[in-house]
């Protein structure tokens, strides 16, 4: 194996809707030129010849991620060989991160630090955990004096549950949040999230797995069992979708922080991956209205996105109109001229990759929020 330009292999799955079959493939990623090729395991022949015409990067290559290649969405199910498994054991390490009750309004700041440290958000759910889930999560502390306090607190309000992936993800996230005890965090890590935002040692902003074993256990409890009941209101709210290209560029935290600073409260949040059928269904009202409909649909299906349900924290104004002002004109070039501080002006590239989708018409707000927080959630 060439140590300077290694070649990695991954197992892929693709659900063929027409044939109603789950098809299996082998993806090869060649680092020397960034080439990929796909081999059909059943037919035992190349499916996609070696090419650089794709948008797959090394950061995208982790188990559980979905890749959009030539209009088809594949799921990475496993490493294809021990060399790849060993190479990605640290660079592709998974950990569980949680923003505790009362701190979801700081999601933007947390995500910004996560992306700054080179980590990727592989899963995100904003919602509630039951007492049974909390008891299972804190099982190792059962019988200790602080056990009931932990369980009561973690079930007292919605949490933000996150699965993070990246080099030394466990240690990095724990470094980002700082020491458990608030006074230690303030003295030893004054720029940590706990030092900046925690209220006490119990209400200490966040949780992070302390070992690979703990990470696997906690991720299994929270995401494996779908134990976080999504929060949403579907009333006097609007929808915002942070597009895949903006997530990949690490802008999600900055975007969410700007939205909250503009007077919005997060009432729902989830990470989702749409296939092309889902994205065109979600954007159906724009078919025939915008000439870039196909390209915009493909962008929305090109990777993970974050869907937000938002309400105005202290206003009777329309959340739909207010968010449109924060997002700015659809074309980032026009946004830069007319609203230079808007989200699209700062983080958009073009009309297709314009950082965010936001509800345009009052009547569509309920439908768009329902699409993610009921329909998509039920299909995941």
Catalytic residue selected from 54, 94, 207, 245: 207
Rounded to an integer, what distance in angstroms lies between the CA atom of residue 104 and that of residue 100?
8
Closest CA to 310 of 370, 369, 372: 369
How far apart are alpha carbons 119 and 113 in whole angstroms? Answer: 9
Active site residue 24: no
DSSP string, 159-204: EEEEEEEETTHHHHHHHHH--SSHHHHHHH-TTSHHHHH--SSSS-
Q: Would you name the residues annotated as active-site residues?
A: 207
């Amino acid at each position: 194996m060439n140590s300077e330009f290694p070649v990695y292999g991954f197992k892929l799955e693709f659900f063929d809707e027409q044939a109603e079959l789950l098809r299996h493939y082998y993806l090869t990623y060649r680092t020397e030129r960034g080439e990929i090729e796909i081999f059909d395991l059943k037919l035992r022949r190349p499916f996609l010849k070696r090419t650089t015409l794709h948008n797959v990067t090394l950061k995208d290559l982790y188990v559980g991620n979905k890749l959009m290649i030539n209009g088809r969405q594949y799921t990475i199910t496993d490493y294809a060989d021990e060399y790849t498994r060993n190479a990605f054991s640290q660079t592709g390490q998974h950990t569980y991160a949680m923003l505790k009750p009362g701190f979801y309004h700081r999601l933007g700041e947390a995500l910004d630090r996560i992306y700054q440290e080179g980590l990727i958000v592989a899963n995100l759910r904003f919602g509630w955990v039951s007492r049974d889930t909390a008891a299972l999560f804190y099982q190792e502390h059962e019988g200790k004096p602080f056990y009931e306090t932990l369980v009561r607190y973690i079930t007292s309000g919605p949490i933000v549950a996150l699965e993070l992936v990246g080099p030394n993800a466990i240690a990095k996230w724990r470094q980002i949040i700082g020491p458990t005890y608030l006074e230690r965090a303030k003295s030893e890590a004054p720029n940590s999230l706990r030092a900046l935002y925690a209220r006490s040692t119990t209400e200490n902003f966040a949780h992070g797995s302390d070992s690979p074993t703990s990470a696997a256990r906690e991720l299994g409890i929270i995401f494996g069992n779908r134990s976080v009941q999504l929060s949403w209101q579907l009333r006097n709210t609007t929808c915002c979708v942070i597009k895949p290209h903006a997530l990949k560029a690490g802008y999600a935290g900055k975007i969410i922080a700007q939205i909250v600073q503009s007077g919005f409260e997060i009432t729902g949040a989830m990470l989702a991956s749409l296939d092309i059928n889902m994205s065109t269904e979600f954007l159906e009202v724009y078919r025939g209205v915008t000439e870039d409909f196909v390209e915009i649909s493909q962008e929305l299906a090109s990777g993970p996105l974050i869907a937000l349900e938002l309400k105005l924290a202290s206003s009777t104004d329309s959340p739909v109109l207010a968010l449109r002002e924060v997002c700015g004109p659809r074309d980032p070039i026009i946004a830069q001229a007319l609203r230079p501080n808007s989200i699209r002006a700062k983080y958009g590239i073009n009309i297709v990759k314009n950082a965010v989708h936001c509800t345009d018409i009052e009547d569509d707000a309920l439908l768009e929020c329902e699409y993610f927080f009921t329909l998509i959630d039920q299909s995941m």
